[in-house]
Amino acid sequence: MQRIVVQGDSVPPSVLAKAHLVGYEASKALADFDLALKHFELAERMERRVLTKHLRTQSELFVTRTEELRSRHMAMAARLEAQQERHRAAHFAAQAEQDPLTGLGNRRHLQWRAAELFPSLSLAGAPLALAQIDVDHFKRVNDTHGHAAGDKVLVALGKLLRDNFRSADVVVRSGGEEFVLMLPDTPMSNAIEICERLRARVEATPVDIGIAAAPAYDLDALMQRADEALYAAKQAGRNRLCRAEP
């Protein structure tokens, strides 16, 4: 009787399984049932090996894809967190430069904008005007009508200032009832006209305005000269505009 034997480590299990099935059919046809059973058992073993290898490959592929998805998710979460941190930092930075009552910039914002604007304005020799505004008899408003009423006056004045100046202008509440306007590319003659129109608009809530102009491009010097002009406006009878002497 002829026997069919298939062996060899280099032969793929799927090929061996098919060969043993052929051996099983041949042995069965020759009525060699013992050999047919061996071929059948070997075919099953090879098929299980193929199936096990396939399942292992699928499992490894699943793990790889799961890790890839996990890595993508972690990277996306990290980018989102970084973006949120940048937004929070920008929000806190904006809050640090904002007056909470009027929504205008504060003194820190004025200093930052001055440091940003002065070098380019100085290099170009461009005009710059700075005005200080003070609300007349503001203490009397607080004492007579209460601080809530005083706050409403400041909020109204802040809105008027914000609505009547260019986006390039710097409008801040420097403290108490005092406001500062920084007008880049604005000569003194234009600044006087602008501030006089502003004074007329808020005449129902009297204010004093003092104006100084650059050069020099130095915030402290400009603030001091504008403050002197503001004092002169108060001394001259309030509700008026005075300019600093060169």
Q: How crowded is residue 165: how many other Cβ atoms within 10 Å of its Cβ?
A: 16
* Cβ 34 vs Cβ 56: under 8 Å: no
> Annotated catalytic sites, by residue?
177
| Residue 130 bridge partners (DSSP) | 182, 212
